[in-house]
Amino acid sequence: MVLCSVDNMLSVPSASDQICMMRQESRRPPMSRLLEFVSEIITRMASRIRTSRSSPIVRNAALLYATTVVTSLLGFFYWFIAARMASVQAVGTASAIQSAAQFLAIFCVLGLSTLLVSELASDRERARSMILTATVLVTAFSLVASVIAGLALGLLSPALRPGLIGPIRIGTFVVLGTLSTTLIVLDDSCIGLFRGDLQLRRNVIFAVVKLALLPFMILWWPDPAGTELVIAWVVGLAVSLIVIATGLGMLTRGQKTRLDIPRLIDRRRLIVGHHSLNLSIQTPRLILPVMVATVVGTQANAAFTAALLVVSFVGVIPVHLSTVLFALSPGDELAMHREVRVTMRICLVLAAIAAPFFLVFSRSILGLFGPIYQTASPALIVLGLTILPAAIKSHYVAINRVRGRMQQAAYLTLIGACLEVGLATGGAMLYGITGVALGFLFALIIEATYFSPVVFSVMRKA
């Protein structure tokens, strides 16, 4: 007791003071100590959240994911209504046609959308000119390519032919491909300007319009080929185009309005690198529904599309996180280390939650679409395991973009894309849509094994 009453004049407590402190601590109620411990944990977590929110990368990615949350929820109801009101064959055909149009958009965007993310982040004074130039070029190219692709698919694919016969269906596909291409450029322009709220607004309006229009289209024009589903999609894209074009016009008001094609010519090597990477990393997921409809059938593709829709609600987060990483200054290793540590930790947590969640609830979720859609439950469970390997691949691509090694990354990811489509096709022939998911997962695991040393080395190095 005497020791406890002596004032300690030193900055470091003496042994006697430490004994007194331990005695006092032992007398405190256990509940008080527990509350203090929990309070300390909450304080640390809040501090880390505030630090993450201060990052423009995470903030922009959060807006991208907010877009995904809204569009996925409304998209879920879109396909739910389609599954309940339209035939399974119509849903399978329409979803395959939409995937084909989205793949065509990735091809026709020519890498200019990703180029704009980095160019606009560093030079906002000429944003209007750059956006206008890229939009005009890709829209014109996509218009021609969509006509050719629509006619070719109608002739070569028996599964898609019912949805691509006649001028109305071909015209709908052409407009769908062209609008999808244009909106990719405008959405990525918003990311480059760190105005993810604009693309969020655009996507919300798109999702609401197509959802509101869908029941009326199905009742007015019930088409076995699902043309009414595609038309509702196209109208939503058209309305949202007006919204985002108006927003970007106001944001870049006062800047020069002219085409700057020479600037794009000067960056042709960068454009080719971006284009190669975009094709190699996005082609498999867009080709798979078309392949399933052709190899397994449109009815199986309807179930597989529902499974893809559900898992993409989680799987798109790593894609968004890695996409906005390219807004970093080229060669900024310190910033990349900091941001990759944050984004990969988020991806690890998501992967740990997603796998058991889909294992337990896959059949219940797909049952909402209808009993026949539950045949994709095993495929959904397998697809739930792709979150982490896909995140590693996405981050590998983003890291090589920042380091200026796009050609090397494009070569490797192109091999990976061929592996994904090849193993998925082999699995489709052997085990149907479950085989597709297994082949896709095995390919991603092989790629992640090869890419992970680069990603984890960036996380370790400061």
Q: Closest by alpha carbon to 225, among 338, 84, 90, 121?
A: 90
Q: What is the mean pLDDT of residues 6-29?
A: 48
Q: State what percent of residues in the chain have pLDDT above 70.
A: 82
Residue-wise pLDDT for 311-340, tens only, equals: 987 887 777 666 666 555 566 677 777 878
Q: What is the mean pLDDT of residues 189-212?
A: 87
pLDDT of residue 435: 96
Q: Which amino acid is at 358?
A: F
pLDDT of residue 420: 94
Is the pLDDT reported for residue 96 higher than 70?
A: yes
pTM of the model: 0.73
DSSP state of 8: P
Higher pLDDT, 442 or 400: 442
Residue-wise pLDDT for 226-262, tens only, equals: 899 999 999 999 999 999 999 998 988 888 778 878 8
Is the pLDDT reported for residue 282 higher than 70?
A: yes
Half-sphere exposure of 432 (CA within 13 A, CB side): 14
Q: Residue 370, Cα to own-chain centre: how many angstroms?
A: 26
Q: What is the mean pLDDT of residues 408-420?
A: 89
For residues 182 and 178, give the distance between their C-alpha atoms in angstroms, rounded to a whole number.
Answer: 6
Q: Closest by alpha carbon to 182, among 199, 195, 194, 160?
A: 199
Task: For residue 373, give both structure tokens.
Answer: 């859609």
Residue-wise pLDDT for 140-165, tens only, equals: 999 999 999 999 988 888 888 888 98
For residues 167 and 207, give the distance between their C-alpha atoms in angstroms, rounded to a whole number.
Answer: 26
Is the pLDDT reported for residue 10 higher than 60?
A: no
Is the pLDDT reported for residue 215 higher than 60?
A: yes
**H-helix or E-strand spanning residue 398:** helix 387-402
CB 66 within 8 A of CB 60: no
Q: Which residues of 176-191 are buried (b: 16+ CB within 10 A; e: fewer)?
A: bbbbbbbbbbbbbbbb
At 24, the pLDDT band (50, 70, 90 cuts) reads: low
Residue-wise pLDDT for 38-60, tens only, equals: 445 444 434 444 444 445 566 66
